[in-house]
Amino acid sequence: MAVPFIQPESQVGPSTLRHDLDLSADQLIGLLNLTHQVKQSRQRFSSSLKGRYVSLLFEKPSLRTRMTFELAIKQLGGDCVVQVGPIADREPLKDVARNLARWTDAIVARTFTQDTIEGLSQWSGIPVVNALSDLYHPCQAFADIFTLKERFGRLRGLKLAYVGDGNNVAHSLLLSCARLGIDCAVATPAGYAPDTSIVAQAEGFAEASGSVVETTTDPFAAVRDADAVYTDVWASMGQESEAEERKRLFAPYQVNAHLLAASGTDSIFMHCLPAKRGLEVTDEVVESPRSVVFDQAENRLHVQKALLLTLLQ
């Protein structure tokens, strides 16, 4: 599908999160700072969303996203209702959105298409959080960047190398890293690169922040001097019919000890999970001391708490 060009300064502002750019760079930094406060003091925010209710809509199966959002809402003193399955199969999306707006204070949606996120935002009039679509995964990228800050104590001047499929996670990492001064190199097989319009946006942000965006088909070139090496599954949900072909094409992009050794000596390994061990990454790498995959998973909870506080307080 064609990707609409999103202006750097979204007119929607911080009242919703359809994609990464609904938060400005300054607002993203503020979100990371709030995440730190939330993580340090759970009790301080334990009644912040008292009396607030959130709709959770899941078209795709979920462990981390569902659990962390449910826990985030409840640990902040709010509550949620959950629907699993197609969002608008029985009635128009605009009707679903307006019903939910009458009952709850925000919508968190994990969907197959970005169009669903946009429609919910357009018709509901309440905050909508993109918990994953085909184009973006902003909550994951924000948690990843927070994890980098925890590990290295800084963001500007770091290099993140993403190896694998140029998918929604790659898109969000490109947009958010480039705005915060983090170099981002993406290595994919030919034909599986990130969307060119999103890469162009990231390059514009990188020029302004003094960082570098690179796309390549060479995984070893991408990971050279990287502080973090990141990968994701080769075939996402909905791409099962492509799995065998992707397995063949992506084999040279497996993150194994050899590829990780080609990065910086103090580099870390990142993955948004679930991981297909033995495919995009070896068990040895996931279980190594350089792996921060469970730090990332934990930080989904904290960054999503901060995001809900930002949108609902």
Active site residues: 110, 137, 140, 232, 272, 300
Least Cα distance to 194 among 211, 212, 217 occurs for 217
Centre a 10 Å sphere on the Cβ of residue 50 and count the other Cβ atoms it contains.
10
Alpha-carbon torsion (18, 49, 88, 303), positive or negative = positive
Say how far residue 180 (Cα) sits from the centre of its chain.
Answer: 15
Strand 268-271 and strand 228-231: the pairing is parallel
The number of beta carbons lying within 10 Å of the beta carbon of residue 38 is 24
CA distances in angstroms from 75 to 34, 46, 68, 132, 147, listed in the order given: 15, 6, 10, 22, 21
Closest CA to 28 of 133, 185, 138: 138
DSSP 190: T
Determine the distance from the C-alpha atom of residue 82 to the mean position of all C-alpha atoms in its chain, rounded to a whole number: 21
Q: Which helix (H) or strand (E) holds 70?
A: helix 64-75
In the sheet where 228-231 sits, what is the strand order? 213-216, 183-187, 159-163, 228-231, 268-271
Our measurement of the distance from residue 91's CA atom to the centroid of its chain's CA atoms, rounded to an integer in Å, reads 29
